[in-house]
Structures are given as structure tokens and as C-alpha cells.
A and B are shown apart, each in its own frame.
Chain A
Amino acid sequence: MGSLECLEEKYPIIDSEFRQFCASHNILSVEDFLMQDLYALNIVAEQRSNPEKLKLGITQILDVMNNQHQPWLNGQELLENALLNKQSLSVGCDRINALLQGGLRKGRLTELVGPSSSGKTQICFQAASYAATHGIANVMFIDTGNSFSPKRIAQFVNKMSNHVIDQESLRRIMNKIVCHSVYDILSLLDILHQLEINLKHQNDFQVMMLIVDSLSSLITPVLGADGAHGHALLVQVGFMLKKIAYEHNIAVLVTNHMVASEGGSLKPALGERWKSIPHVRLHLSRDSSNNTSWMSILGHPSVATGVAVEFEMMCS
């Protein structure tokens, strides 16, 4: 919501005369209007020379504001929306899909937490490759550790397509995955903001999956530096990701690394304050001696915590 001036084009009743009246009460923007005692304002308006017109203007602005909030939905409509727009995207591994009841759900924020070299990035590659191979829209990959390996993506794409693919289809598929390098949290917010604008205003621009690998490394330099500042940024990024996921039907996947806690055991780097933000939290671990990995549920809306699955990472 902006200044009253920009409303004039659409609602001619909010003309300069009306705005002058408002300005005399320190009302310059729509927000200012919300903070006013409207009853008192109506009384003042009646004492002016043209009370009817001023009152109409006030009603008009209230009307505009009432239309600002999202419409309400009932459960049936929510379910229809979920079935229509919030499908699951396969991660290209049957066992993980079974664990997650289909895969990464559009509209949800999924977090992958695990120690170094536990295979977080590989799961991201795999999910991105499968989505690009079998889906229509694009995949956006935000890389903070220069670990995006196009060669590995090409390997996954080759493995996941049902038939041998030629160079031209490989090019077409790989052009659907777009990678951005980001090295600080403010740039991430910037890029998410730009993404939101593009999604809103361009109908030909579609994204089905957004990956941030890793979110925790962007937060580490600002966490605990000066009070709650880092936490505020973290929560802001979390909510922005969830908003984008819900409004544009995107499956969002972020990774989080692990650090030692006081007792010597490992805990997620993004801690208590982050914990409640993602819809789905998954823990990843790997036994490097025999190439087996485990994924277990730390939090999920409809799967019990602690359920785990063993799987093998796809090799080259």
C-alpha cells in the first residue's frame, strides 16, 4: 500500500481536494489512514464545505483496503487447490519418494540437514535433474559453495530419462536448470525478491523447484554477531521462501549443515529459531565404507518423526 496519490488514477474521487483534507490530519499514505480514528474523521468531514464528497472518499479508501486481504477459503476449496496445484515432485529415488509420500511437495519448504559429505548436495542435484527431465517448468538452484556440478547433473539426467537422450534433448533439459551463485544473505533476499516479481508479472516464466544449497553457510557469518539481527534475517528468509512456495506452487528445498553441540554430538547449524519454519525436516547420514545412506524424518506434517529409510546414492 502506498501513498494516497497513486490511488487517484483508479478512483477519481480521491482527488487533490480530498488528499488536502487528509493531509491536514497527517494522513499521507494508506497506512496512515488505518491508524486514524475514522469516527472522528467523519465528524470533521461534516464540518467542511463538501461533507458528502469527503465521506464518499473515506468510504472508497476503506473499500480499497477491505479488498486488500486474501479471500477466505473453506476446507473443500483448500483441498481442491492442494490436489490441483500442490503435487509432489519425485526426487528420482523410489525409497525416498515412499518415505516422503511422493516426494517434494509443491508449496512446501523442505529442509535437508546432515554432516559434511553426507550427500545433501547430491540429493539436491538428483531432485533438480529429475524435475528438469520429467517436468515442464524450470528449476532454480542457488549455490553458496561453488558446488553446482553441471557434469554431475548431466550424469543424473542421462540416468533418469527412460531412453537414451541425444545432445539436443540434454541441452534442452539442462537449460531448464538455472544456477545462481550467492555469497551473502542480503543478496539472497534480493534475488528472492526479484524472483517474486518475475513470477508475478510474467506468465511464461514458471518455476517448479527452488533449491538453496546451503542456507546455513549464508547465515553463519551473521548469526549471533550483534544480538538478534542474524536471527531476524534468518526468519525473514524462511518466511519469504514459504510465501513463494505457497503462492507460486514451488517445491522449495534448502540444506543445513551440522555443528558440534556441547555434548560432542552433532546438531543442525540453524537451531531452535529455524526449527519451526520448514514444513518438512529431513536428516541425512552416510556410511562411506559401503555407499549406503539413511534419510530420517525430523519433522513432517503427515509422517511420524523418526521413520527412516536406507538407500543407495546414485553413482556415475
Chain B
Amino acid sequence: METTSLSTSWNQLSRFGSQTAWEMLEKEESSRRITTSCADLDKVVGGGFRCNQVTEVGGVAGIGKTQLGIQLAVNVQIPADCGGLEGKAVYIDTEGSFMLERVLQIAQACVEDLHSSHRKMTPADFLDNIFYFRVCSYAEQTAVINYLETFVADHKDVKVVIIDSIAFHFRYHFDDMPLRTRLLGEIALKLMKLAQKFSLAVVLTNQVINKFADGSFHLTLALGDSWSHACTERIILFWKGSERYAYIDKSPSVRSASVSYCVTERGIRNSSSNCKLVKMM
């Protein structure tokens, strides 16, 4: 009785898209996550990359940000009967670092791992389901992000949007810093809305910069302090000796932790002694 009268009151607010915590919990428990193909990494982020949120992945050049992006663009397509989302991917490339050969390799490895599936997917199918946008200026980037809502509304099976990297065009040739802050703030909210409205995962990569503070230089993510609030979850990739590590820097739901991973020919995998790679100089 009590709950019914309550829910009618909430219903009047529901045109704003309200949900109770319990409804959200049930939804979250039944929703699938995008695996990274690295079981250790999946574990610390709570079972894979989550839909309905914006995840930022930061790290130095060559640490594997793009590799992770490609891996997610492939893995989002894993068929539902193999535990995947059977979705499609939007890949927004701002740096020109998208490597087709690499996508093919990773897709091939993914197909081999899926041999149990009765519905056979080919690497070409994987390529078919990645929508690629090349972006060459910050104006183009803002435009394509504005367009995403229309695009995804027409392609409802898109389950991941990868922007590699969010920072590139905003780092240089920008004199009007307040304008930059406003544009980025707007972009952040648009991506948040997209993630929630279509329950898809938004993954952004970001570069690191050397910042001078408290009398010394240290590494921090690009785009400033205001941007650091723009994501739901943030993962920092870094080197520790010759091993790659991922660190959960910010998350509302899982605790901070770090875990090693490695980039193999087949894609992102668990770190094991035989796949420690020599750090590229």
C-alpha cells in the first residue's frame, strides 16, 4: 500500500528519467559488461567495462591505450550466447593511430577464442561492425560528438563509443582557455547523456603531460583539473619496470587497485612471466 502511493508520486517526476536505487541495482546486476580479454583487469574494474558510464583511460605514449580501445571495439561484438553484448562499436580517431592490421589480428584471435560458438563469426564481420570516424580538428571533434546522438539513435546496437584521444585537438592552438573549459564541459555532459540514454559504454583515452606544481615536475593527465571530473571512472596505465600496469584512479563503485597486464600479438592479455615485453624506447 505504502509503496504504491509513493511510486505514483515518483512517477510524476519520472519523465525526467528517475529510477529508484533498487531498480538500478536489478538492472545493473542483469547487464553485461565488455571484457578486456585480460581477466585480471576485468576483475579490478568489477567484471569488465560497464555500460551507462564514461571511462577515461590515461597513460604515456606506447603504453597500450589504443590497443585497449581496439580490443574493446572487437570484444563488444562477442555474441550473446558466448556471454558478450553482441553490439557494435563507434571508433572516433583523432590522432590517426587506428591500425587496421592490428584490428584484424585481434579479431582473428577473438574468433579463435570463440570456437565454441555455434554461430561462426569471421574477422571480416568484426571489421564490418566498427563505425570509424576520423577527426582532424577540435571543431570536427565537437561536431561528431554532437552528431553521435542521432547516429546512435539510428544504430541502436552500438554498445561502445571509443574516442582516441579526447585531448589531441584541445591541447594545442588553443588561446581562449575559458572557451576550452566550456567546450569540454559541454562534451563531457553530452557523452554522459549518450552513455545513459542508450546504455552504452563511452571510453576516452587521454594523454599525459608534465606538470609543474609544488616546485617539481610530475606526470598528470592532459586537459586540466576541470576535465578530471568529466569521467565516471578513470584508469591510469603506467610502466613499472618492464611491466605494464593499470591503476583504478577514480571510481564510484570499485576501490582503487592496480593490476599488471600485457599487450600480446593477440591483444590485451593477463600478464605472465613469458609475455613480459621489452619496453620500447
- Please report A residues at the B interface, Cβ cutoff 8 Å: 115-117, 121-122, 125, 132, 138, 141, 144-154, 170-172, 174-184, 187, 190-191, 194-195, 198, 202, 204-205, 214, 216-218, 220-225, 257-260, 264, 266, 269, 288, 315-316
Contacts and interface: CB of A to CB of B under 8 A. Distances in A.
B25 A150 contact: yes
Prevailing SS type, chain B contact patch: helix
A214 B6 CA distance: 26
Contact of B252 (A148, A170, A222): A148
Contacts of A216: 229
Contact of A191 (B16, B53, B234, B253): B16
B5 A258 contact: no
B25 A205 contact: no
- Name which of B6, B16, B229, B249 has the most chain A CB atoms within 10 A of its CB: B229
Contacts of B6: 138, 175, 204-205
A149 B195 CA distance: 15
A178 B213 CA distance: 41
B196 interface: yes
A176 B18 CA distance: 12
Given A121-B252, A152-B252, A217-B229, 19 more contacts: A115-B228, A144-B192, A146-B54, A146-B232, A149-B252, A151-B28, A174-B21, A175-B20, A177-B20, A179-B18, A181-B192, A183-B190, A194-B16, A198-B12, A205-B9, A217-B189, A220-B182, A224-B178, A266-B225
B225 A115 contact: yes
Given A145-B192, A177-B20, A179-B19, A214 B229 contact: yes
A148 B25 CA distance: 10
Contacts of A170: 22
A181 B232 contact: no
A259 B192 contact: no
Interface residues of B, number: 52
B186 interface: yes
A258 B9 contact: no
Interface of B: 3, 5-6, 9-10, 12-13, 16-25, 28, 46, 52-54, 178, 181-182, 185-186, 188-190, 192-193, 195-196, 212-213, 224-226, 228-232, 234, 249-250, 252-256
Given A117-B250, A205-B9, A220-B185, A150 B21 contact: yes
A179 B185 contact: no
B3 A175 contact: yes
A177 B10 CA distance: 11
A269 B226 CA distance: 8
B181 to A, nearest CB: 6
Contacts of B230: 145, 217
A257 B188 CA distance: 14
A91 to B, nearest CB: 17
B232 A258 contact: no
Nearest to A313: B255
B185 A217 contact: yes
A147 B20 contact: no
Contact of A187 (B12, B16, B22, B212): B16
Given A116-B250, A146-B52, A202-B9, A221 B20 contact: no
A144 B6 CA distance: 24
A225 B189 CA distance: 16
B192 A183 contact: yes
B274 to A, nearest CB: 32
